[in-house]
Amino acid sequence: MTSTLDADLTHDAFLGGQLHLWQPKAGYRAGVDPVLLAASVPAKVGQSVLDLGCGVGTAGLCLRARVPGLDLVGLERQADYAALAGRNGLETFVGDLTDMPEALRDRSFDHVLANPPYFDRKAGREATDTGREAGRGAETPVAAWIDAAARRLRHKGYLHMINRVERVPDLLAAAAGRLGSPEVWPLCPRIGKAAELVIFRARKNGRANFCLHFPIILHEGARHERDGESYTPEISAVLREGAALHL
């Protein structure tokens, strides 16, 4: 039976139906970005994972669908989204990444993943919906996300983040002195098109030099020519089968 509350929600399929998540009809709704982020994390059974700013839990739960047996928790400052993440099956703490609940401050993790808001609101307009704005407008500087991740990572643990390509200088500057071995994978819509997003990875106490990798192409063809999906086989396997990205 659908409640009045459920009438404001949708129950959406991810990973070709392997995962179903409750999301608000209005407000921030997860797309492909957290799925791609989850696919970039080389987690292993038994490892611990923290999903910072987890929303309804999309990234963390997509990762767990591929790698069962993870010690997985999320942190979300919006209580209504945190409640949905809990309903979706993710152990979630309500709090801000700059002032985490004590239960999280006492823990360390093998992996931290984050899909922070992309857009600098000093250079753009706010969304009218508070949930959507919190998911897309960057109120908390990217340096705070890096700092929070660095504090929670174990020795040699990894941060994985997806963000806009123009934020790469900020990511690198924020990681300097906190996380090492920075790597960037550009996500290009098509061959010959400039990257719009990147996957950023850095390691606690890593010592390797910065590495800019070959781009990951999301769609086949040089331009959009027909209705329907045109993902490359690798991206289609990620989105429809829960496969890993081979970084």
Percentage above 70 pLDDT, the chain: 87
CA 189 to chain centre: 18
For residue 221, the domain's CATH number is 3.40.50.150
pLDDT over 50 at 129, yes or no: no
Q: Could you tell me the pLDDT band of residue 136, with boundaries at 50, 70 and 90?
A: very low
Render 193-227 in DSSP notation, one character per residue: SPP-EEEEEEETT--PPPEEPPPEE-BSSSS--SS
pLDDT single digits (tens) 189-203: 999 999 999 999 999
In a domain, 1, yes or no: no
pLDDT given at position 134: 47
Q: How far is CA 135 from CA 57, 91, 112, 138, in A?
A: 13, 20, 18, 8
In a domain, 58, yes or no: yes
pLDDT given at position 91: 98
**Domain housing 128:** 10-24+31-241
pLDDT given at position 24: 96
In a domain, 3, yes or no: no
Torsion of the alpha carbons at 33, 36, 40 and 44, rounded to the nearest 10:
110
In a domain, 40, yes or no: yes
pLDDT over 60 at 76, yes or no: yes
Q: Could you tell me the pLDDT band of residue 139, with boundaries at 50, 70 and 90?
A: confident
Please count the structural domains in the chain.
Answer: 1
Average pLDDT of every residue of the chain: 91
In a domain, 96, yes or no: yes
In a domain, 55, yes or no: yes
* Beta pairing class for 197-203 and 153-164: antiparallel
pLDDT given at position 131: 46
